[in-house]
Amino acid sequence: MQAAEKPSLYARLGGVYNIASVVDDLIDRVMADPRLNANPLVDEAHHRVPPAGFKYLVTEMVCWAAGGPQKYTGRSMAESHKQLKITGKEWDAFLDDVWLTLDKFKVPAEEQAELRAIVNSTRSDIVIDPAHTQSGTLSTAVIPV
């Protein structure tokens, strides 16, 4: 007897509506985070990009990366973040925001671990800190700013 195939991360997160709700909270949190906005390039980008469009593209990207049917249509991580000069310290602040949001929505530990791996795979395309670079597996994905 064959074991049932494990549902995708997308399915286990509840699909696009649940993911969109989490992204909505996360983007509000990120855009208001003084640790991120202390970087004038990030602060300017946060005020240049309409939050609704930003939330749409991040939702699309997370759904795609989690195995959903959505296709990500934004720019690459590297392309959309290179001009922001994001430091390792700012990356850590962003991760704090991600984990606070996941905890707020009570995302189970197994799914949080998978989301952490997805997010961390983008670090080398976003952070300008060469001492801590790693190979990103989502180099064509982006959380656009």
Question: What pTM did the predictor assign?
Answer: 0.84
Q: Tell me the per-residue pLDDT of 23-62, one tens digit each, with 9 for 90 and over.
A: 999 999 999 999 999 999 999 999 998 999 999 999 999 9
CATH code for residues 9-132: 1.10.490.10
Q: Tell me the per-residue pLDDT of 88-141, one tens digit each, with 9 for 90 and over.
A: 999 999 999 999 999 999 999 999 999 999 999 999 999 996 554 444 434 444
- What is the mean pLDDT of the segment spanning 72-78? 95
Angle of helix 51-65 relative to helix 15-32, nearest 10 degrees?
A: 130
The torsion defined by the Cα of 32, 115, 112 and 97, in degrees rounded to 10, comes to -10
Write down the pLDDT at residue 140: 40
Helix (H) or strand (E) holding 116: helix 109-120
